[in-house]
Amino acid sequence: MPGRVQALILFEPTIVRRAIVDSFKKLDPRKMVRNPVMFVTEVVSVLTTCLFLQALFGHGEAPARFIFAVSVWLWFTVIFANFAEAMAEGRGKAQADALRRSRQEIAAKVLGEPRYGAGWAAVPSRMLHTGDVVLVEAGDVIPCDGEVIEGIASVDESVITGESAPVIRESGATAAQ
């Protein structure tokens, strides 16, 4: 169906690859300082890594294996948190790109007169202007924001608002509030 936004799979390979790279780029303390909890975890990770090296090459306060295990878990926590954040950002960007592409592909039924039953012409949604009146029938994708001027319907606005349940819109209601 043209104009339909495709659902992304959970672990889209291109998003995962980008998230792995970004999770290491986010280790920069200037970026980590924006998230105080993860910044402190990163600082402690650096300190435990130093303690591990001290225990390995000198006199440590605990066995080197124990300090190494603690250090690995701390680094894993920091990198996994960065990875999860990068995945969320990547999915959000991919969904926004898909929405932009769908907006350009949707054909709107522009009415000749602002009444039901009037003749209409198919126009790409990107060519719509303020004041155009479009016909939306059952199963159609709503091509733009606007006001319902006649009728009542259950409308799926999830792409725009993120709301999972369809909403009821009737004459006088504004779509995608």
CA distance 70 to 120: 68
CA distance 31 to 56: 31
Multiple choice CATH, 106-170, 3.40.50.2020, 3.40.1480.10, 2.70.150.10, 3.30.1540.10: 2.70.150.10
CA distance 140 to 101: 17
What are the residue ranges in the chain where pLDDT is below 70?
A: 1-10, 102-105, 156-164, 172-177
Residue-range domain boundaries for the chain: 13-104, 106-170
Kindly report the pTM of this predicted structure. Answer: 0.55
Summarize pLDDT for 68-113 with one digit per residue, the tens.
999 999 999 999 999 999 998 888 888 777 777 765 567 888 888 8
**Distant-in-sequence, close-in-space partners of 57: CB < 8 Å, separation ≥ 6:** none
